[in-house]
Structure 1
Amino acid sequence: MGNSSTELDFDKIITRQGTGSRKWDDIGSVFGSEEVLPLWIADMDFASPGAVAAKIAARAEHPLYAYNAQNETFNQAIVDWVRRRHHWNIEKDWIVQAPGVVPSIILSIIALSEPGDGIIIQPPVYPPFFASIKDNNRIIVENPLLSKNGYYEIDFEDLEQKLADTKNKLLLLCNPHNPVGRVWSREELTKVYTLCQKYKVDVLSDEIHSDLVYRGHKHTVFASLGTPVCKQSVTFMAASKTFNIAGLNTSFMIIPCQRRRGLIETEVNRLHLRRNNLFGVLATETAYQEGEAWLDNLLVYLEKNADVLVQFVETKLPGVKVVKPEGTFLAWLDFRAYFKEAEKLDRFLVEEAKVGLNSGKSFGSQGEGFARINFATQRSVLVEALTRIERALKKITG
């Protein structure tokens, strides 16, 4: 899948300071220090596929950036990509454009539930899941994942209890899971599907990391379960994580059920969110049409980074625990042998190690003593960050 010359491209340092980068230019306001090496927010330090950059540059040469057409080739590119990469046959009519996955989740929550309804999540989980529920006057219902020596599984007994409660209307699923890196197996998702069918609970499935899966694992689209398709579901996808184009604010929902699609489209139209970014549409379409070889090489590089990370932690960071992620470019570091409180760990990482990671506590109370690291960076940068942590730990442990 990969070759050394392509890997060398991913090894190339690309300066991002001064480009308006949230990851690099906001470290002072986020961490209170300009000295940290940032491996936090989930974007990559790699150039997007050359075809994407070329198409954007060519379009930018035309001096008019007015309203864009509802491009049929955009929807067709999505249909073809989902069939090719995920073996799921969808119809163009099922696709609803949106400016991002988080706004799409919020729109779906508003459309498919009422204020006061319970929404089930599985922490530790992506922080906006909490906010999207709370900020819209719904009730957060936790079905915490079970950790078995750092390997996370779904607590199905607890999940069934939560689903059986008629006040709980939706399950917000993270598939693959951020931050623990699980690529839920078909068997696990089938159990979830069966329980949700039994208790008539709809599933909102965030599958933004679905293309980023490593050898030995396979992404299963939740909505592909059932016959002919799971109508009690909304799937959220985007090219943003896969091809590093998150700043173009373009995503889409796949909604097989006409009734549910109509309810969600009503909210989309009410807020006038139907029209996506001109360059985001072009970038997504081009990435799906011409970026597959680039992605295959990226996955080789990312998995090697994951291996380097795990080996470094196991050999040079005694007491820190990590399990190699099955997907995503995120790893979940367990510092509880050294820090029981999130505030102390966060302060240590910034002030002593001088690295900027995501605080585990932002992923729920289950993240106390953890930190999330984004390893989608040049290998030399990753090793430098880990070395900084190693030196800082030696200082406090003697």
Structure 2
Amino acid sequence: MGNSSAEFDFDQLIARRGTDSRKWDDIGSVFGSEEVLPLWIADMDFASPPAVAAKIRERAGHSVYAYNTRDRAPFSQAIIDWVRRRHDWNIEKEWIVQAPGVVPAIILSILALSKPGDGIIIQPPVYPPFFASIKDNHRNIVENPLISHNGYYEMDFADLEQKLANPDNKLLLLCSPHNPVGRVWKREELTRVYNLCQAYQVDVLSDEIHSDLVYGGHKHTVFASLGTPVCHQSITFMAASKTFNIAGLNTSFIIVPCKQRRGLIETEINRMHLRRNNLFGVLATEAAYQAGEAWLDALLVYLEKNAAMLVDFMEARLPGVKVVKPEGTFLAWLDFRAYFNEANELSKFLVEQAQVGLNPGLAFGTQAAGFARLNFATRQSVVLEAVTRIEKAIKQLDRRGS
């Protein structure tokens, strides 16, 4: 560690409008207003590490962008070194399977390891594509809702065991760290999940895309690392996309220790002719893992300050809006239920009165009515502007109600 955010300028104003940014250029179609301050889709308003931009510029200068090799040794080695260094997990090159993104990788694995009609367990409130990846592929969504203790979420292990014991349920789709509630699951929590899944022979699809975005006092545990020496019933999904803000380059990887399961997933990839990778995504991932560590350490300092500022603001000036400081991710989970019973009313209020664009809670499951997700991976001044807008709008609401 040892690096401070002062070495990198995360307060730099980077104009993103007019760059085909989903987050900024689509707000009119998403929210019905061009005036909202967008803090929704999970990308960052920060420039990627200098080494990443330099690598892309270097390769772009060649001017021939034809088919690239499928297996680039430095790419695999960068992943192996990164996972060992950041997550204390030793993996082998043969375990790594490239994919065009974590969500497509999850879908490919669902297709490979289950059949239509099978149950797949999820833990809502959870990342919206989890629902779609199951339903759209004719599998059954089986919910094991998280339990909230004043905004601090935990797994319901009794209910989870019931769901795992049902032989119709073939897979558990785990979100670790959890989006949107910001939990970094403790090793002992994941060990309980591991033991249950082993007992009932249920494979675990572990989405660990936010694994690098963990704050002080917390440690990410790779689910598959809980095995001895490795869990062969676990598929791990990772990418540099969230960590280094390169999601638009559509590159991720799946780590599959089990040769049989890996073969089934690769069969699906081949069946869909998805073995070609993104030239620039491969190089950007490689550069990020090789030379982006100091940047990431500085980023984490900055993001944690944003999270603390957000929580302090709410506690001091908007105590009716409940939020617990996330342990990981750059996403805050805001509870507006003290003000809104109807989810549609909350969404309308945030857009029309507060003029902020957040993700509506209902997208994360029926348990999340009255909640909204706020992306604080932006300049501190923007986060402050957003919460000030919310404060002003709620005070007007209070005045009208009194």
What residue in structure 1 maps to residue 220 of structure 2? 219
What do residues 140-176 of structure 1 show as CA deviations (whole Å, max 9, x unaligned)? 0000000000000000000000000000000000000
What residue in structure 2 maps to residue 43 of structure 1? 43
Aligned letter for 2:324?
V
What residue in structure 1 maps to residue 322 of structure 2? 321
Q: Does 1:72 align with 2:103?
A: no
**TM-aligned CA deviation for residue 72 of structure 1:** 1.1
Report if the CA contact (8 A) 2:171-2:203 is conserved.
Answer: yes
Query: Where in structure 1 are there 5+ consecutive unaligned residues?
Result: none
Q: Secondary structure at the match of 2:10?
A: helix
Question: Structure 1: how far apart are the matches of 2:35 and 2:323?
Answer: 25
What do residues 307-362 of structure 1 show as CA deviations (whole Å, max 9, x unaligned)? 00000111111310000000000010000000111100000000000000000000
**TM-aligned CA deviation for residue 191 of structure 1:** 0.1
What residue in structure 1 maps to residue 128 of structure 2? 127
What do residues 286-306 of structure 1 show as CA deviations (whole Å, max 9, x unaligned)? 000000000000000000000
What residue in structure 2 maps to residue 18 of structure 1? 18
Question: Structure 1: how far apart are the matches of 2:155 and 2:130?
Answer: 17
Question: Structure 2: how far apart are the matches of 1:122 and 1:171?
Answer: 9
**TM-aligned CA deviation for residue 4 of structure 1:** 5.5
What residue in structure 1 maps to residue 272 of structure 2? 271
Question: Structure 1: how far apart are the matches of 2:271 and 2:277?
Answer: 15
Aligned letter for 2:222?
V
Report if the CA contact (8 A) 1:123-1:366 is conserved.
Answer: yes
Aligned letter for 2:178?
H
Report if the CA contact (8 A) 1:361-1:367 is conserved.
Answer: yes
Question: Structure 1: how far apart are the matches of 2:296 and 2:24?
Answer: 24
Aligned letter for 1:334?
D
Query: Where in structure 2 are there 5+ consecutive unaligned residues?
Result: none
Q: Secondary structure at the match of 2:97?
A: strand
Superposed counterparts of 1:133-212, under 5 Å: 133-212=134-213
> Which has the higher mean CA deviation after the structures are superposed, 18-27 or 67-76?
67-76
Question: Structure 2: how far apart are the matches of 1:366 and 1:94?
Answer: 36
**TM-aligned CA deviation for residue 6 of structure 1:** 2.7
Question: Structure 2: how far apart are the matches of 1:205 and 1:274?
Answer: 22
Percent identity between matched residues is 78
Aligned letter for 1:212?
L
> Which has the higher mean CA deviation after the structures are superposed, 135-144 or 271-280?
271-280
Question: Structure 2: how far apart are the matches of 1:141 and 1:363?
Answer: 14
Report if the CA contact (8 A) 2:5-2:299 is conserved.
Answer: no
Report if the CA contact (8 A) 2:5-2:301 is conserved.
Answer: no
**TM-aligned CA deviation for residue 73 of structure 1:** 0.9
- What is the alpha-carbon root mean square deviation over aligned residues? 0.7
Question: Normalization by structure 1: what TM-score?
Answer: 0.99
What do residues 207-243 of structure 1 show as CA deviations (whole Å, max 9, x unaligned)? 0000000000000000000211000010000000000
Q: Secondary structure at the match of 1:11?
A: coil
Question: Structure 1: how far apart are the matches of 2:237 and 2:107?
Answer: 11
Aligned letter for 1:19?
T
Report if the CA contact (8 A) 1:2-1:300 is conserved.
Answer: no
What residue in structure 2 maps to residue 56 of structure 1? 56
Question: Structure 1: how far apart are the matches of 2:285 and 2:367?
Answer: 35
Question: Structure 2: how far apart are the matches of 1:272 and 1:167?
Answer: 30
Question: Normalization by structure 2: what TM-score?
Answer: 0.98
Report if the CA contact (8 A) 1:101-1:238 is conserved.
Answer: yes
**TM-aligned CA deviation for residue 276 of structure 1:** 1.3
Q: Does 1:380 align with 2:381?
A: yes
What residue in structure 2 maps to residue 245 of structure 1? 246
Q: Does 1:261 align with 2:271?
A: no
Report if the CA contact (8 A) 1:341-1:369 is conserved.
Answer: yes
